[in-house]
Structure 1
Amino acid sequence: MASPEQRARTARSLAVLDERLTHCRACPRLVAWREETARVKRRAYADWDYWGRPVPGFGPPDAALAIIGLAPAAHGANRTGRMFTGDRSGDVLYAALHAEGLASQPTSTHRGDGLELYGVRITAPVHCAPPANRPTPQERDTCRAWLTGELRLLRPTLRAAVVLGAFGWQAALPALAEAGWEIPRPRPVFGHGAHTVLPAAEGPDLHLFGCYHVSQQNTFTGRLTPAMLRAVLRDAARAAGLR
């Protein structure tokens, strides 16, 4: 099978890229973990037919705003097949998107639940659930081709991106550079509420925002509150022209 880089680079639409991504088996450790998790399951989801494959991005192909996370959760998106769906991180994110008028409903439980995103595409630098939520640097770099391809296909309409967490920030910068935006020197530093503009070689520049990840560790401790998340999404939506 061709490498992720070859398969992503030659995809001429997001639909094609998403379909190719779901068949990726480039990282043996991630393949083994996602499939074992889908086979063993969690007791609460014993009657589910787990997705157990790489999880593609979610949202319209002409999105003006991208939200970039970390990786699918073992019993969240690895179960449901849709980014940030079926876990508590997704509960927080989709409630905020709905409150800001960027999603049709405040909950995301399964594919086919009627959820729509308005001008927003949600993706991640790693598309398979990693053990302990920790992909290795090599797995991150191997998977980057899919994010680069996705961003390249979104370029005609993409005007802003929100990156959730420092890991996502470090992974997204090289992908953004490969997709056609210039990374300033010194490199932008991650922080909650960070905002920088990435010049484009051709076309509009990109507004890049940082936000603490919507992990339970952050939301349960109050490090990230719904108000803080909504404020970043609101600023990003304005920069993207969705306000």
Structure 2
Amino acid sequence: MRDEPTTEAQDFPAVTAQRLEAIPELDDAVATCRACPRLVAWREETARTKRAAFRDWDYWARPVPGFGPPDARLAIVGLAPAAHGGNRTGRAFTGDPSGDALYAALHDLGLASQPTSARRGDGLELYGVRITMPVHCAPPDNRPTTAERDTCRPWLTRELELLRPSLRAIVVLGGFGWQSLLPVMADGGWRVPRPRPAFGHGSEAIIPSPEGDGDVHLIGCYHPSQRNMFTRTLTPAMLREVLGRGAEVAGLQIG
């Protein structure tokens, strides 16, 4: 009998992810991953050195799992955790300007219980929405390598497979997330069109499901990065509009 893979093993995500039968199990397994040495070193070094404003924090310093209900109808796919955001708090889009913009927009639409997110366990709930990402560790300069993205891919592939019975729409934040998501959907059996849909703010594409039991509506959105929000490449109104469109096609009530 083959031994169970260790979290340091090169095949840990690929072997382990497909064995998991529920979203909570997947989230627990993601948080143990040590498959990418550069990312492990960076996230742990960031936790040791910290930022002056957060010197009293005990950083999460592990891979950040997805957040939201296991029967979500709408998924939001970002890039990766921020070094002093998700890597500090343990929750995606929490503790940085991107998260401030995202959760405020979700709350305005009635899809989040509160407009801010400070840390895991702060009482925030999402309604019908799950937030995830193609890379679960904070990368140096916010730039994961292609190899790191591909190593992490099985987590997102399995997450979307487990969400498939309910999932009807995905809002993708940024071009990296869009380019990373399409191969993941193809791996999961979705019939991704050829040529592959191009990313753009407000761009939309229908991705037929493997069994024809519920297609997924893909919607592009500029990433709510501090730079994009400061330059008004993306405004709060633009973000609400795209998220509202995602909720609409997913069949979620907003208000």
TM-score norm. by structure 1 comes to 0.99
Opposite residue 227 of structure 1, the aligned amino acid is: A
**Where does residue 26 of structure 2 map in the other structure?**
17
The whole-number CA distance in structure 1 between the counterparts of 2:127 and 2:161 is 20
Aligned Cα RMSD in Å? 0.7
Q: Does 1:199 align with 2:219?
A: no
| Unaligned stretches of 5+ residues in structure 2 | 1-5
Alignment of 1:27-176 (within 5 A): 27-176=36-185
- Offset of residue 137 of structure 1: 0.6
Quick check: 1:241 aligned with 2:251?
yes
Amino acid of the structure 2 residue aligned with 1:190: F
Whole-Å separation in 2 of the counterparts to 1:154 and 1:28: 29
Gaps of 5+ in 1: none
2:238 is the alignment partner of 1:228: yes
Amino acid at match of 2:133: A
Cα shift readout 1:96-143 (whole Å, capped 9, x = no counterpart):
000011100100011111100000000000000000000001101110
Pick which of 59-68 and 174-183 moved more: 174-183
Deviations 1:51-92 (A, max 9, x none): 000000000000000000000000000000000000010000
The one of 198, 210, 218 equivalent to 2:220 is 210
Q: 1:12 corresponds to which letter in structure 2?
A: E
- Give SS of 2:32's match: coil
Q: d(CA) in 2 for partners of 1:180 and 1:211?
A: 24
Secondary structure of the equivalent of 1:55?
Answer: coil
Give the aligned residue type for 1:232: V
The alignment covers a number of residue pairs equal to 243
Measured in 2, the distance between the counterparts of 1:44 and 1:235 equals: 36
Q: Per-residue deviation at 1:9?
A: 0.6
User: One-letter code of the match for 1:206?
Assistant: V
Distance in structure 1 (CA, Å) of the matches to 2:49 and 2:114? 31
Where 2:76 maps in the other structure, the secondary structure is: strand
Shift in Å, 1:217: 1.2
By how many angstroms is 1:180 displaced?
2.5
**Counterparts of 1:180 and 1:208, CA distance in 2:** 15
Displacement of 1:20: 0.8
Residue type of the partner of 2:165? P
TM-score, normalised by the number of residues in structure 2: 0.94
Provide the residue aligned with 2:190 in structure 1.
Answer: 181
